[in-house]
Amino acid sequence: MKRSKKLFIWEIMVSVLLMTQIGCHMNAQNKAEESLKIGITLYNQYDTFVSAMMNDLQEYAIAQEKEWETDIIIDIYNASGSQIMQNEQVEKMIEDGCDVVCVNLVDRTEPTVIIDMAEKNNIPVIFFNRELVEEDLERGNNLYYVGAKTLESGIMQGEIAAAIFKNNVKADKNADGIFQYVVLEGEAGHQDAIVRTEYSVSTIVDNGVRVEKLGYAIANWNRAQSQTKMAHMLLEYGENIELVLANNDDMALGVVDALKTAEIPTEEWPVVLGIDGTEIGIKAVKNREMAGTVYNDANGQAERMLDLAYELCIGGELERLGLEDGKYIRLPYAKVEPDDVDKFLHSQSSDSKPHT
Ligand code: GAL
């Protein structure tokens, strides 16, 4: 199992803690106990957004240890795109005595093995970022989901695109009154990819802008794949492309890479929009390589996930966390455009919360 240096260092730290701790168990008095052991498995540790979320979670855990008077032990596993490996990792976490298991599902349609193991052992599971269908979440009493308000990302990206078209005549390069676009999509079947593409385009149209789809390509959230796919689309559609809707920032940056490699002068670039508001994405908005992005609150999701894990561990009051239907935590998105980019950049270098 390959791990990033940062995760490795973290694991050494948490292993030292582990030697001195006792486990955290449900407690009738709702009183915090000495330690909380959390097992986390990631669908792919190299995913930019997910790894940023893990860094935020680790920083928050360090801050909360004092506040909660609890040692927090976190073991992070990389499932490397294999659902079978992820199932085995969850089995190991349960054997290792994790109080709570957090799962970034590889295959969002295949949570059954994990749900069955957790139910049998009476361990709470928090799924995050890759949403399972509601029926699966209903299959146990101790299952939760932490993510974002999915529809908002596409709607906000569409609003940014429509405003650019209306306010900037140069965006309509061929001056035909129609926004010719291509889409770079995330993984097929991922809830965010499906919804972002659909709502981004429908919002542009709802805002009174006519559109024409030239093409699309699936690039699995990945910058290098996106660069390759965009290079093909540039050969096929060339300067007819006026707008690129990328389902995330890494793919938008891959588009920027392709435009640079093709040596297209910046004044002839299409409008490039992403989603996530990763640090590199926001910097690209600041330097105008991307026209905008939509902030996906990695920090907020990380913090709410740890809060939930803690309350589940101590048998605390979940009400204060404001769960929807007793099971869901969903955080809002925010638009990031060149003029307000600094408050997001500032947030990433300090506590990574946008100061709105
Ligand atoms: C999305 C995010 C993508 C990618 C994906 C992984 O929410 O926008 O960049 O991280 O999750 O599941």
Whether the per-residue pLDDT at 328 is higher than 90: the answer is yes
If asked whether residues 285 and 304 sit together in one domain, one would say: no
If asked whether residues 164 and 186 sit together in one domain, one would say: yes
Supply the pLDDT for residue 345. 80
Of 295, 315, 345, at which residue does a domain stop? 295
CA distance 82 to 43: 7
Supply the pLDDT for residue 24. 44
Supply the pLDDT for residue 174. 97
How many structural domains comprise the chain? 2
Give yes or no for residue 49 CB within 6 A of ligand 1.
yes
If asked whether residues 113 and 168 sit together in one domain, one would say: no
Choose the residue to mutate in 41, 48, 129 for probing ligand 1, maximizing ligand atoms within 8 Å of C-beta.
129
Of 295, 319, 346, at which residue does a domain stop? 295
- Higher-pLDDT residue of 38 and 343 is 38
Supply the pLDDT for residue 7. 45
28 falls in which pLDDT band (50, 70, 90)? very low
If asked whether residues 66 and 188 sit together in one domain, one would say: no
Supply the pLDDT for residue 181. 98
How remote is the CA of residue 7 from the centroid of ligand 1, in Å? 19
pLDDT over 70 for what percent of the chain? 88
If asked whether residues 132 and 244 sit together in one domain, one would say: no
Whether the per-residue pLDDT at 252 is higher than 90: the answer is yes
Residue 181 forms beta bridges with which residues? 213, 243
Whether the per-residue pLDDT at 30 is higher than 90: the answer is no
How remote is the CA of residue 191 from the centroid of ligand 1, in Å? 10
CA distance 319 to 333: 23
310 belongs to a structural domain: yes
221 falls in which pLDDT band (50, 70, 90)? very high
If asked whether residues 216 and 116 sit together in one domain, one would say: no
Residue 185 forms beta bridges with which residues? 218
**What average pLDDT does the segment 91-95 reach?**
98
- Higher-pLDDT residue of 213 and 344 is 213
If asked whether residues 185 and 254 sit together in one domain, one would say: yes
Model confidence pLDDT, tens digit, residues 260-319: 999 999 999 999 999 999 999 999 999 999 999 999 999 999 999 999 999 999 998 898
Whether the per-residue pLDDT at 108 is higher than 90: the answer is yes
Q: What single string gives the DSSP state of each residue in 75-92?
A: EEEE-TT-HHHHHHHHHH
Give yes or no for residue 333 CB within 6 A of ligand 1.
no
How remote is the CA of residue 169 from the centroid of ligand 1, in Å? 32
Give yes or no for residue 295 CB within 6 A of ligand 1.
no
10 belongs to a structural domain: no
53 belongs to a structural domain: yes
Give yes or no for residue 145 CB within 6 A of ligand 1.
no
- Higher-pLDDT residue of 31 and 127 is 127
- CATH number for the domain including 88? 3.40.50.2300
Whether the per-residue pLDDT at 219 is higher than 90: the answer is yes
If asked whether residues 85 and 159 sit together in one domain, one would say: no
Supply the pLDDT for residue 324. 95
Whether the per-residue pLDDT at 17 is higher than 60: the answer is no
CA distance 294 to 324: 23
If asked whether residues 227 and 244 sit together in one domain, one would say: yes
pTM surpassing 0.85? yes
Of 240, 268, 295, at which residue does a domain stop? 295
Give yes or no for residue 152 CB within 6 A of ligand 1.
no
Q: Which residues contact 67 (CB under 8 A, 6 or more apart)?
A: none
346 belongs to a structural domain: no
Contact between residue 56 and residue 352 where contact means Cβ atoms under 8 Å apart: yes
Give the number of the atom of ligand 1 that is nearest the alpha carbon of residue 278.
9
If asked whether residues 198 and 289 sit together in one domain, one would say: yes
**What average pLDDT does the segment 241-246 reach?**
98
176 belongs to a structural domain: yes
40 belongs to a structural domain: yes
Domain that holds residue 42: 28-148+297-332
Contact between residue 305 and residue 58 where contact means Cβ atoms under 8 Å apart: no
253 belongs to a structural domain: yes
User: Of 6-10, 332-336, 345-349, which has the strongest mean pLDDT?
Assistant: 332-336
Whether the per-residue pLDDT at 207 is higher than 60: the answer is yes
Structure tokens at 252: 């938008």
348 falls in which pLDDT band (50, 70, 90)? low
If asked whether residues 84 and 160 sit together in one domain, one would say: no
Whether the per-residue pLDDT at 16 is higher than 50: the answer is no
CA distance 80 to 177: 45
Model confidence pLDDT, tens digit, residues 116-134: 999 999 999 999 999 999 9
How remote is the CA of residue 94 from the centroid of ligand 1, in Å? 26
How remote is the CA of residue 85 from the centroid of ligand 1, in Å? 20
Whether the per-residue pLDDT at 347 is higher than 80: the answer is no
Supply the pLDDT for residue 33. 54
**Tokens 């801050």, located at residue:** 63
Give the number of the atom of ligand 1 that is nearest the alpha carbon of residue 130.
12
Supply the pLDDT for residue 114. 98
If asked whether residues 75 and 159 sit together in one domain, one would say: no
Structure tokens at 314: 């101590």
Number of helices (H), then strands (E), belonging to the chain: the values are: 12, 12
347 belongs to a structural domain: no
